[in-house]
Structure 1
């Protein structure tokens, strides 16, 4: 499935003689959150081919992956179970992300943070398989070999004209897929949404190529962290371009790209392709948090 690409025309880009294009993955299956559709595509095929009836996965309270897995389960006929970080959430009103997952039929199970940290432990996973009658287990964020294969299909030979391909980074599956599909003369530049020491080394473990790098100065303090500056940027970007950004991933991505343009991080004549990976479902939940903090709301 092919997404549309559009060029942004902003004074900053014109002054620095840089061209910036956006691949609108967010417009593909909006409920599956752009790159989450890519990550789930081959996993769903594998689960169906092997006769699984249930998908089980992990995520936080505002997880795009939880939201997308629940929507995919409803769409393709799988039962879904979400193991959610934070036992203190049990019995409390659901935020918009978890409510949507529940509405799509997902069984939500709230784990203590201690238990949640065992999500990759083989013994813990074996117990999960036993407790939930052998579900098809998707890792947190959805990143595995099948997901990387799906994300490699985001770009095609038509995109080899760009010098840089930029994307948000969470678990790294999208970055890995793009790096595997990029042309030899291209650089894939990832903008982490979280503050994580050693992330580059961790990603090197499953991205064997050397055609990628991280721009790790634009995480705004960590995963899900946001301040007035980022809010103002997202609102201004929407007003100027008509493109909505989410506060966890793509807001930080485009903020970082334009900051790098402004300081000369991309030389004149550069052509950049930015991957809009969706995630817009998280805006309603973030606005609830912003309202409690007396911060401006995201106007998208």
Structure 2
């Protein structure tokens, strides 16, 4: 068992990530400048907010097993498993849903297994209670001493890690927008921005719960409210992983315009929302809007070792 923090620098992340202009008449006609913060280029296996949310947590784990949670197509599970492979520590993924329903493994879970993650399937009722002492104690009894990360990796350390994103973008007044799943990226981004800037979150899930989550994360990470932020909950397209033809058509067009591979579950909804907001006049003429590209499309091709039995 290791007792030292992993050397993340040897993975050679691209930090700070590039900030690039995007010439787009849908913004320009309203006098708005669109910038793309290419966090998807930080690292091929731990892109964007996955790197930023995991980095401080992995240092805290100091080589212990990292146990975390996700659905069958979770980007967070895949990034955690990749970090385990690259840095040499064990990982456990608690997966929502009965095991038989996930056999054979889909490409995302197969990649997790290939990267050495032990997959532990739980029924949906148990998964809903994953933060309860009863369920957590049961998991820790199975897997002994672990660092437990919440679903999506959003905790106080994750928010603190994402504050570096805001610091990289500090400047004059403007809007910095990010797609939101579990709120950790928005909580940290807002904390790192300058006093005249604001962070805008575009949730990709339905429910209207994210505001309370962001406030709680900021309280835990920074001791109270930090920075200016808001949410626009109109662009989830029906919920997580809902990507209707209208969204795909928009993303295909954005790719053609800008040569940017657009990830569909998060980034496409962010860019769509910003385009609608620009058309509504939500951004003042002469202002700048920065879209944080938190991830890239995953092609499903395996990396690392061949899949192993994950039971």
Gap runs ≥5 in structure 2: 1-14, 219-224, 302-311
Question: Hey, what's the Cα distance between the residues in 2 that align with 1:13 and 1:68?
Answer: 33
- Post-superposition Cα deviations, 1:154-200, rounded to whole Å, max 9, x if no partner, equal 13265313511100111000000011111111110000010013322
Per the alignment, residue 171 of structure 1 pairs with 182
Per the alignment, residue 9 of structure 1 pairs with 23
Q: How does 1:113-192 map to 2 (within 5 A)?
A: 113-156=124-167, 159-192=170-203
Question: Hey, what's the Cα distance between the residues in 2 that align with 1:32 and 1:64?
Answer: 9
Question: Hey, what's the Cα distance between the residues in 1 that align with 2:281 and 2:102?
Answer: 50
Match of 2:48 among 7, 29, 34: 34
- Post-superposition Cα deviations, 1:210-238, rounded to whole Å, max 9, x if no partner, equal 61100110000001111000010111111
Contact 2:76 2:152 in 1 (8 A): yes
Contact 2:65 2:91 in 1 (8 A): yes
Q: How does 1:185-264 map to 2 (within 5 A)?
A: 185-207=196-218, 208-209=225-226, 211-264=228-281
Per the alignment, residue 72 of structure 2 pairs with 61
Shift of 1:30: 2.0
Q: Secondary structure at the match of 2:152?
A: helix
Q: Which moved more, 1:173-182 or 1:196-205?
A: 196-205
Shift of 1:47: 0.6
Say if 2:60 is the partner of 1:46: yes
Q: Which moved more, 1:224-233 or 1:97-106?
A: 97-106
Question: Hey, what's the Cα distance between the residues in 2 that align with 1:148 and 1:197?
Answer: 20
TM-score by length of 2: 0.86
Question: Hey, what's the Cα distance between the residues in 1 that align with 2:167 and 2:160?
Answer: 13
Question: Hey, what's the Cα distance between the residues in 1 that align with 2:46 and 2:190?
Answer: 22
Residue 36 to residue 67, structure 1, CA distance change in 2 (3 Å): same
Which 4+ stretches in 1 moved above 6 angstroms? none
Contact 2:172 2:196 in 1 (8 A): no
Q: Secondary structure at the match of 1:55?
A: strand
Per the alignment, residue 19 of structure 1 pairs with 33
Q: Secondary structure at the match of 1:31?
A: coil
Per the alignment, residue 87 of structure 1 pairs with 98
Contact 2:159 2:217 in 1 (8 A): no
Question: Hey, what's the Cα distance between the residues in 2 that align with 1:35 and 1:227?
Answer: 24
Contact 1:43 1:146 in 2 (8 A): yes
Contact 1:30 1:278 in 2 (8 A): no
Gap runs ≥5 in structure 1: 286-300
Shift of 1:76: 0.9
Per the alignment, residue 290 of structure 2 pairs with 273
Residue 162 to residue 67, structure 1, CA distance change in 2 (3 Å): farther
Contact 1:162 1:272 in 2 (8 A): no
Contact 1:166 1:272 in 2 (8 A): yes
Question: Hey, what's the Cα distance between the residues in 1 that align with 2:171 and 2:183?
Answer: 21
Question: Hey, what's the Cα distance between the residues in 2 that align with 1:95 and 1:257?
Answer: 32
- Post-superposition Cα deviations, 1:60-93, rounded to whole Å, max 9, x if no partner, equal 0111100100000011111111011111555522
